[in-house]
Amino acid sequence: AVLLYCGVAYVIPEYARLVAAALALAATAVGIPAATIVARESRIKDPGFVVIDEVAGQALTLMAAPFSWKTAAAGFILFRLFDILKPPPVRQLEALREGTGIVVDDLGAGLYGALVLWLLHHYRVL
């Protein structure tokens, strides 16, 4: 998600947030049913090889600030941090059924990342 976002945002930076929003929406719309199918077929509750949930969450974080290499790097780090830490209620979102739980917990981490990224940008830290 970060590489696609950075590539498009570098060429047409005024559309960076729109690209991130489209990525988040598309990854969520495709990801929930796809993750459900993969989880059922593999009999694994949250298959680690399913990464479309990461794309959705990462893209959500990147929507929070205009494109720059600093905001892209910070957004990547922030999303990963919140995805690993899973602050409340992110961890509880994993309990949702099948693909919904697989994707929505990453959207929760993405929201936390977006909030912090927005604050960093708003207060001119980035």
pLDDT digits (tens, 9 = 90+) for 16-67: 999 999 999 999 999 999 999 999 999 999 999 999 999 999 999 999 999 9
- CB atoms < 10 A from the CB of 42, how many? 11
φ, ψ (nearest 5 deg) of residue 9: -65, -30
Cβ 117 vs Cβ 66: under 8 Å:
no
Number of domains in the chain: 1
pLDDT band at 2 (very low <50, low <70, confident <90, very high): confident
Query: Euclidean distance between the first and final Cα of the chain, in Å?
Result: 21
pLDDT of 92 reads 97
Q: Which domain holds residue 55?
A: 2-122
pTM beyond 0.75: yes
